[in-house]
A = this chain, B = another copy of it.
Amino acid sequence: MPDLSIDVVAKAAGVHRSTVSRAFSRPEAVKSETREHILRVAEGLGYTMSPLAQALRTKTSTFIPLIVPDITNPFFAELAKTMTQAADERGYQLLLCVTNGDPAKTDGYFTAMQAMYAPFGIVAPSTKVDTEALKRFDFGHKVVVIDRVEGDDAVPTVTVDSRRGIMLALEHLHGLGHTSIGYVSGIAGTHTAQDRMDAYLELSAESGSTPVVLDSGSDLDAGTRGAEHFLEMDNPPTAIIAANDMVAFAVMSALGQRGVRVPEDVSVIGFDGLALGARFNPPLTTVRQPIADMGHIAIELAEKQNADGSVDHIVLEPELLVRGSTSGPRK
């Protein structure tokens, strides 16, 4: 590969660099005859433009950072999957940024994204802190957030309707005959986590039952602690809503190890709709978030903002996914 630059193509096609450049990036500005010739020659040489050079000159690259707290969490993994797809459909390259919940890292990624002229970035926050970091950067570089954001204004967001999701779960459980329904919270700090919890509290109260929060911790051990708490209760709930699928897994696992059977002894319902849930033992009933859509929409929002400056806040509808972890109450 004798270093294919725009100049060698230009020479080979007998035109000037600038014409080749136009042939690629502003086709209508070149006589169609010339353009096709150039394209043909380029094709023959196996030429592609250097994204780096382009980025340097135009001050806008195709690198888009995906900032997540933990790629190991299947929710973020699924998000990453659909995002990569959406991304390279549109010629973007996803930069995987894992913060591990460390705000310093988040900051670092933001400055890095400026440095490489990222047109925008996607943030799936673990804590409110992440979204606050945004402000320090004046939104100078556009970002879209997979969560609600305090104040709901300057930055585009996409989320699912937490309240509706919890409602779905509650209705399903009520329909099955459950009246005492506990809750184990998930990754704390996120607005959506907060919203789900609030929704649970409110809706429970509305339906006349007293809410039972088994654990409100932030980590995965919330599941274990929740299960323990459950076992210590004199009159434990007959069903448990977990703030997200991972926590639901943890709950079921902890319960299982202590001899409690799902759904025979207690029903468990998650929130996320991870594919993995279908392979769990038992398969997890859950409130599905349209993760795939979220990825595409996030990118669309970003592009839209770049185009006309509009910042939208999309709220998607969740959906109930009934699998094997819920059934009628024990007695």
Contact = CB atoms under 8 A, between A and B. Distances in A.
A119 interface: no
Contacts of A320: none
Interface in A276-321: 276, 278-283
Given A116-B52, A253-B279, A96 B84 contact: yes
Contacts of A49: 115
A50 to B, nearest CB: 6
A114 B94 CA distance: 16
A98 interface: yes
A209 interface: no
A246 B279 CA distance: 9
A220 interface: yes
Interface string A117-141: 1000000000000000000000010
A112 to B, nearest CB: 7
Contacts of A281: 249, 252-253, 255-257, 262, 280-281
Contacts of A166: none
Contacts of A112: 93
B84 A77 contact: no
A163 B111 CA distance: 46
Interface of A: 1, 48-53, 55-56, 61, 63, 66, 70-72, 74, 77-78, 80-81, 84-85, 93-98, 100, 111-112, 114-117, 140, 220, 223, 246, 249-250, 252-253, 255-257, 262, 275-276, 278-283, 324
